[in-house]
Structure 1
């Protein structure tokens, strides 16, 4: 997608969100006109912040503290929009409820106050939640596997802005402490141009595991010169699985690790996922497939025991989870897709947009593959 087109669409969506908040929430608050004026100023300032965020994400360099301030409005306005919807529905119900004027006014004032408190509390909680990355540990039974293997899965790091060199350094230290057999990164690793992100990306060369680090593209790699990103990763000795597979472990005791390009490639006609090619010449062992988006599982019909994905961020901010569910069959955690195939969806190691998480923590996934009895 053209960054300019995304810029315009993104700003248009938030212009509509601001309009709804103004007309269906602020306009009905029982407060002084001066207070409503300040609320409108708040909306306007936040909208300017979103413009600043998009400029910083795709065109300009800002100091981290300024980038932090510019990114917050995305989450603040989204949560305020969700609150406004609840407020709007509650206000209409209250209006038609068989109550005396006195009781209706009391409940209306209570609704006004509780709605403002709800939006403020959720915003503060979301910012606090984004400070930590949780280590998720899970055992997954794999048929025909002869011995156990430990995989660390990272996904949706979105290098750029607040995801800086210090963030990646700390992430690498935490991953190395796990002493994994291999590390896999399931897409959306970098979200800025390579000339701005090269030094940050270089920190990943310090990742340590027995069999190395493996990567498949996500949709965001297509926004920032995917060819250059892939080449830069290869220079760091990170194996990019481009519709191909590799055998992990000793002969007869290991598993096939396959990877495909992201399905966004279907829109661009370049770097297109090809499952048949990715599964060519498999050894007679279990197969683990890396594919960025969970919905790619609809194309997997055979020869795969486990698929590892990301993309969804677990919804990142809870109400958004329901919108993600409209597009993706799985949002997070482990699922048994059919009799033969399982899928694990990582909630994202970083975040996109605001440093906010609600109902979906950032995660490093420690997956232990164990032989099924």
Structure 2
């Protein structure tokens, strides 16, 4: 199955890059130069895709391949706009004078180059930037006291983002003076034996009521039990199908749906997670993937579900592909008459070190009994 995934992904990316070469590259470079450039990008991308599933790549190859994967995506988007622009030019009457036609063609190509450069440079800059702080007011029925919950998710510590990046995230989080911190998965992309002191900054989080965590799919890829054990050593409460009563709420968590796909536990179990909750208190559920909401019914009486996973698409317009797999992309949604869900865009990135149109964030959820702002609610 792994080999099939790599084969299909490699063929798809090769086809995309061939279209980029035929429609875009040869319009700006000589055929020979363009062929060399697109071949290098394609080979590095295919090696990277294969390395994700088959072999562990050296850091240099991993970084080069990840950058080439991002360039493949972005060049493909630029190519689609370039093709659309050429089609529009053919639909309108252009000056017969060849000089004027060449001038308009140069202007169009210049606009494509400028827009493309802005698209790529924005992605690079945003990828290197620290996450912003997003403050979201949320109304919770029967809340005994206002609560501030800081959410950290989808950092993907590994080859690109390392301990110093996590240290900066912890510092930003502490500045928000949260009542509690929730970590909703995809924290690290390395096996437990390679972690060392990478996660140690988590031990410096300052809260009134504690730090709570559930795993994401990437923890399952690298060794979920070992990673969770390391987090527990840092004083983090692992909510694997469990509920804790804290600060006048039930805070519950479930293991990730990746366990079902991989057929490797621990498996998510919502009923087990809610078994010990206090029905008189509001319930906040931590689940890495937004589509876990499909397992939640009004009878479960979940007031708020907090998720990550989507990266808000990471690179626009690939957010559209995320929505093929997940019901919600980013922000606060009213799922039904009882349950709201907040989906964070995540604090880091995965794969290409780019973000475009989907900035990273640390979400600060301000739970009160006051009416929330309608601008944060998407139905």
TM-score under structure 1 length normalisation = 0.89
1:211 aligns with 2:209: yes
1:263 is matched with which residue: 257, 260, 264?
Answer: 257
1:369 and 1:225 mapped to 2: Cα distance? 34
Superposed, 1:147-226 pairs within 5 Å as 147-226=145-224
Which piece of structure 1 moves more, 143-152 or 5-14?
Answer: 5-14
Check 1:348–1:5 CA distance in 2 against 1; reply closer, same or farther (3 A cut).
farther
Instruction: Map 1:189-338; keep pairs closer than 5 Å.
Output: 189-249=187-247, 254-269=248-263, 270-283=265-278, 284-301=280-297, 302-338=300-336
Q: Secondary structure at the match of 1:129?
A: helix
Which blocks of at least 5 consecutive residues in structure 2 are unaligned? 372-379
Partners in 2 of 1:200 and 1:6 — Cα distance?
A: 30
5+ unaligned residues in a row in structure 1: which ranges? none
Residue among 41, 44, 53 paired with 2:36:
41
Matches of 1:115 and 1:369 in 2, distance apart?
A: 45
Secondary structure at 1:200 match in 2: coil
- Aligned equivalents of 1:140 and 1:194: distance in 2? 36
Q: CA deviation at 1:54?
A: 5.5
Instruction: Indicate the RMSD between aligned Cα atoms, in angstroms.
Output: 2.4
Distance in 1 between residues matched to 2:6 and 2:150, nearest whole Å:
34
Q: Provide the residue aligned with 1:140 in structure 2.
A: 138
Q: 1-side partners of 2:103 and 2:326: how far apart? A: 43
Q: How much has 1:327 moved relative to structure 2?
A: 2.1
Count of residue correspondences: 362
1:93-132 mapped onto 2 (5 Å cutoff) = 93-101=88-96, 102=98, 105-130=102-127, 131-132=129-130
Deviations 1:212-269 (A, max 9, x none): 21111111112112222222222222111111111112xxxx1000111112222123
* Match among 73, 77, 95 for residue 68 of structure 2: 73
TM-score (norm. length: structure 2): 0.87
1:142, 1:372 → 2: CA distance?
8
Q: Report the Cα offset of residue 10 of structure 1.
A: 4.1
Deviation at 1:202, TM superposition (A): 2.7
1:24-76: CA deviation from partner (whole Å, max 9, x where unpaired): 3224x1x5xx633223322223334435655886624537xx86555322222
Asked if the contact 1:144–1:372 (Cα under 8 Å) also holds between the matched residues in 2, the reply is no
Instruction: Quote how far apart the aligned CAs of 1:288 are.
Output: 0.2
